[in-house]
Amino acid sequence: MKTERELRIEMEGRGYVSGILVRPEKAKWLLVLGHGAGAGMRHPFMEALAEELARVGVATLRYQFPYMEERRKVPDAPTVLTATVAAAARAAAKAAPDLPLLAGGKSMGGRMTSQAAAERLLEGVRGLVFFGFPLHPPKKEGTKRAEHLAKVNVPMLFLQGTRDELADLKLLKPICKELNTHASKASVGHSRATLHVIETADHSFHVLKKSDRSDEEVLRELAETSAEWAEELSDERRN
């Protein structure tokens, strides 16, 4: 059993954006979930991911960025995007004050969430989950987009495919290692960066036929890995 309801998320003087809260009956966490650059919160991937997360006890608040709400093609400026993430996190805390908060998203939604966290805009959020962190543009390898991650003071989970053209694992793995090397577990209470790799998955988490896995099975892995990681956060808070 789960409930689903639509929300209007106030942007503090910038109007409103839409949101969808999906809460399973025995929710343990609430994940504030941002969409990717080219598709909104109602994209089939986002809807299916929310369903799988609900199945493992993770409620979600999906939301629109203003450009998607207004049906514009070009994403908003980073300041607007991070302000939207912060507004969604505040709305989530208000909608479900009994649930601990996580935040993250698909591709751009995840990166803007990490930017907001680095700028200390996500008070009360206990961890970040990235469904395909966009480390660099396709065929333009680089690490500049990861520079702000050192300023994030909560644990991060990176869910990445081996065929993701926006995140070469040869670059991402050392970044995660360095984040953990320089992080103090006393300050974050957990490994700073956890990397979970999905074999043959691309940036959309489609896998090759030779993997003998379906998209549905991959989505289930994304959700279950997220829930297990969140449970580790809970365990460490209790200890």
> Which amino acid is present at 231?
E
The C-alpha torsion from 135 through 55 and 216 to 131, rounded to 10°, is: 0
Q: What CATH number corresponds to the domain at position 185? A: 3.40.50.1820
Backbone conformation region of residue 206, classed left if phi is above 0, alpha if psi is from -120 to 50, else beta: beta
The tens digit of pLDDT for each residue in 75-92 reads 999 999 999 999 999 999
Number of domains in the chain: 1
User: How far, CA to CA in Å, does 201 sit from each of 7, 127, 175, 180, 206?
Assistant: 33, 24, 20, 25, 5
**What per-residue confidence (pLDDT) applies to 189?**
53
pLDDT by residue, tens only, the chain of 239 residues = 889 999 999 998 779 999 999 999 999 999 999 999 999 999 999 999 999 999 999 999 999 999 999 999 999 999 999 999 999 999 999 999 999 999 999 999 999 999 999 999 999 999 999 999 999 999 999 999 999 999 999 999 999 999 999 999 999 999 999 999 876 554 555 689 999 999 999 999 999 999 999 999 999 999 999 999 999 987 665 54
What's this model's pTM, rounded to 2 decimal places?
0.94
Structural domain including 163 reads: 2-238
**What per-residue confidence (pLDDT) applies to 239?**
44
**Number of Cβ within a 10 Å radius of residue 212:** 8
